[in-house]
Chains A and B, each alone.
Chain A
Amino acid sequence: MLKINVAKVLTAAAAMAMVAVPAFAAFPDRPIQVIVPYSAGGSTDLSLRLLADSFKRNVKGSTMVIRNQPGGGGSIGVSATVHARPDGYTLGAGAQGPLSLLPHLGGTDYSLEDVEYIGMMSRSLQLLVACKDAPFTDFDSFMAYSKDHAPQIGNSGAGGANHVSAEAFAKAAGIKVKSVPYQGSSQARTACIGGHIDAMVASPAEALTQSQAGNMTPLFLMEEKRIDLFPDTPTAVEKGINFTWSSWKGLIAPKNIPAENLSLLREEFKKAVADPEFQKKMTEMGELVEYADADTLKKQVEADSKTAEAVLRDVGMYGMNKN
């Protein structure tokens, strides 16, 4: 099935490119810079580097260079992206935290109004896992425990994506949780494997290896349906709680890029994501490659933003950094 999709995408992309290239041969005539709002070496950075590689292979005459501008949970880099010169030569990595969540806390100098979308390249599925020596081992015992205790759920930073997703689940399920923030996901994972917290939100890749080693136990998947990697792990939806959450990675740009450059970039992006080598490497890294066009990405960003706003208002973090 995937093969047919890829082939279709490729043909479509090739057809579009053939139309597009002669008319706008001038763009891009120099490297396109992509601002990654995190440090080099993280999953967003590596994904974008793989994309840049794929660009070099698939888009003739265009190269992509990665520029890391970390800090402020990603807000510094996104701010630099949306305030860059809108000529199509400066793009940015789009991630859930700085786009859908951080503006609600205040303290960012951009809003979703300032963002132009190129497309989505991957989704990261999420599981809630029980940590070592936790007082529960599956969904039902977790819910039973949560009736009269607030389980401690570690996250990778206050107001970050998995803080919001854990609180959003608690809200949907009508339970109380105690969120314990760490500086980054690896610190949270260390605490989880050491049994210093009860549960955390994990990616399928880390949950798989750690559960094989007996350090984590998957509780539920934050999707509509179960996945092959965890055939025995239920979803919250099938347990009767209307809750799904996943994070995603995409490409964004400042507003007001010339229309022809923008549509060319969107086509090239689609082509680069369809590249089999790119998909293979991404999958090995534990990312789920899933192309979506700019409109779909925009809708996703806005939907997440709405959920996050409600959650952040509930936990009293909404607008806390407004000046």
Chain B
Amino acid sequence: METLAYLLPLFSPSILGAIGLGTLGGLIIGALPGLTATMGVALLIPLTFGMAPIMGLNMLIGIYIGGIYGGCVASILLRTPGTPASAATVLDGYPMAQKGEAGKALGMATIASTIGGFVAAVVLALLAPQLASVALKFGAPEYFALAMFGLTIIASLSGDVLKGAISGFLGILISCVGADPISGVLRYTFGVTGFASGFSFTPALIGLFALSEVFVQMERLHLKDEQIVEVSGRWPSKKEMKESANALTRGSIIGTFIGIIPGVGSGTAAWISYNEARRTSHTPEKFGTGYIAGVAATESANNAVCAAALIPLLALGIPGDVVTAVLMGGLMIQGLAPGPMLFQTNPDVVVGIFGGTFIATFFMFAFGMLLIPVFSKILNIPRHMLAILIVVFCFIGSFAINLNPVDLYTMVAFGVIGWGMQKFGFSQAAFCIALILGPMAESNLRRGLLQTGDDLGAFLSGPITQTFLVLTVLSLVWPYIRQRLDNRKAKKKAVTSKQ
């Protein structure tokens, strides 16, 4: 009954308006490359100073949810991931758009984001305090094992294992640039102050995926490619929904789980979910060619992370990612300290945030679906003009993140690397995964060794560590087992057909 009383104020026009406005604003911010959900939330915090806590916080959550979803728009249409969270969406989203199915790709992204968001929001509302303790089980060995598991995706995502491994190791090597995570020594910065934190992530991704694609397009300019004018409707067919059901379920669960673990983030969730969907699919070869289930897998996972990341924040006072860290600042300014006590001292705020998460997810669905035809119009721009526009966005987006001119060099250099990789068949996805997970693996390995006095045994003990290590081995060996099984089946068939 009390809960209901706390929920009712959410439906007052002013609060609904604030959430709606926040979600729409976040959606647009997320859709523009270089403007991230984090930035949107941070810039709007001062606006919420004067608002009541429920209104202000839910507006921020709206921006957060809208912003993470909005990232898929540029990924699908322009191959420009505005956030690391949507980098994996490029893999199938962009080929779909190239086939003239941009509307459907965006539609599926919206549906998947909504499902992922709702699943995580339900978990948040029902189990937040109970699940939060999972977040605390992760020490250095656990994070390291999780990172190792994530890195095995490289093996299964790249067709050519050798080239995939080279891309992966190159990514890890490049992620070593900047301050050493444990000793603080600057590595490979060559005295450039701007590299003190290593290569900035978003500019690197923008270069890797977007600028490289512009180079590829430029090479093809003299070929009279057909302009994509036809943009399919936004609703996926029944058959397509059925094909994606597996990806949606897995994505939502994986996203929720990863979201609860602090500091892992929606980028990792999206890649793991993509890999899982592909591994368990009946038609794994379709992934990466513009397969709708690929979009469903990544987008359901990264939006599930949003709501799930609120679990450790509200229940323990631990922000799971950068955006929730900023949200925590917003809570503190309202005089509310997130943590176990918040549930007792301010149940109205906690319930209000739970409710707001649902409402923001709903708004995200509505606005997303409404805006798809508008977004898709981008593809009507003639290809050579679009290429120039994308280049402009690449530069603005890379600079806007940190206002650091060095980021522009980073973006251009990664553009050239990405183009080279595409040209010679090296996997950009493997490279990207290594960039995300390399630092996590390194810092936790080194931290763990420091804490245990160089005892590697700690990295093999503990149930969570062991589970992830077993999964790591399985995921490496699985392709061979599968091949064997297939071969045996084929042989049997051959034998039976001969008879």
B136 near A190 (CB under 8 angstroms)?
A: yes
| A108, CB-defined interface residue at 8 Å | yes
- Select from chain B the residue with minimum beta-carbon distance to A105: B184
CA gap between A162 and B337 in the complex, in Å: 22
Q: What is the CB-to-nearest-CB distance from B36 to chain A, in angstroms, rounded to a whole number? A: 10
A-B Cβ contacts below 8 A, count: 165
| A298, CB-defined interface residue at 8 Å | no
B135 near A190 (CB under 8 angstroms)?
A: yes
- Select from chain A the residue with minimum beta-carbon distance to B36: A40
| B373, CB-defined interface residue at 8 Å | no
B316 near A186 (CB under 8 angstroms)?
A: no
A76 near B194 (CB under 8 angstroms)?
A: yes
- Select from chain A the residue with minimum beta-carbon distance to B133: A194
Number of interface residues of B (CB under 8 A): 57
Residues of chain A contacted by B179 (CB below 8 angstroms): 72-73, 158
B136 near A194 (CB under 8 angstroms)?
A: yes
- Select from chain B the residue with minimum beta-carbon distance to A158: B184
Q: What is the CB-to-nearest-CB distance from B100 to chain A, in angstroms, rounded to a whole number? A: 39
| A58, CB-defined interface residue at 8 Å | no
Residues of chain A contacted by B340 (CB below 8 angstroms): 213, 215
| B420, CB-defined interface residue at 8 Å | no
| A17, CB-defined interface residue at 8 Å | no
CA gap between A109 and B447 in the complex, in Å: 29
Residues of chain B contacted by A45 (CB below 8 angstroms): 42, 329
Q: What is the CB-to-nearest-CB distance from A200 to chain B, in angstroms, rounded to a whole number? A: 13
Number of interface residues of A (CB under 8 A): 62
B193 near A109 (CB under 8 angstroms)?
A: yes
Residues of chain A contacted by B337 (CB below 8 angstroms): 205-206, 208-209
| B263, CB-defined interface residue at 8 Å | yes
B332 near A285 (CB under 8 angstroms)?
A: yes
CA gap between A183 and B321 in the complex, in Å: 12
| B450, CB-defined interface residue at 8 Å | yes
Given A41-B42, A41-B325, decide whether A75 and B139 contact each other with a Cβ distance below 8 A.
Answer: no
| B147, CB-defined interface residue at 8 Å | no
Q: What is the CB-to-nearest-CB distance from A227 to chain B, in angstroms, rounded to a whole number? A: 17
B322 near A43 (CB under 8 angstroms)?
A: no
Binary flags per residue of B308-326, CB closer than 8 Å to A gives 1, else 0: 0000100011110010011
CA gap between A72 and B184 in the complex, in Å: 10
| B280, CB-defined interface residue at 8 Å | no
Binary flags per residue of A40-51, CB closer than 8 Å to B gives 1, else 0: 111101100110
Residues of chain B contacted by A40 (CB below 8 angstroms): 38-39, 42-43, 326
| Contact pick for A46, options B38, B45, B137, B183, CB 8 Å | B45
CA gap between A182 and B184 in the complex, in Å: 11
| A191, CB-defined interface residue at 8 Å | yes
A67 near B403 (CB under 8 angstroms)?
A: yes
Name A's B-contacting residues (CB within 8 A): 39-43, 45-46, 49-50, 52-53, 67-73, 75-76, 79, 105, 107-109, 132, 152, 157-159, 178, 180-184, 186-187, 189-191, 193-197, 205-206, 208-210, 212-213, 215, 281, 284-286, 317, 320-321, 323
Name B's A-contacting residues (CB within 8 A): 38-39, 41-43, 45-46, 49, 135-140, 179-186, 189, 191, 193-194, 196-197, 200, 262-263, 312, 316-319, 322, 325-326, 328-329, 332-335, 337-341, 402-404, 443, 447, 450-451
22 contacts between A and B (CB under 8 A): A40-B38, A41-B38, A41-B42, A70-B197, A71-B197, A71-B402, A71-B404, A72-B193, A72-B194, A73-B196, A75-B196, A76-B404, A108-B193, A132-B136, A152-B451, A158-B180, A158-B184, A190-B316, A196-B139, A205-B332, A285-B332, A320-B185
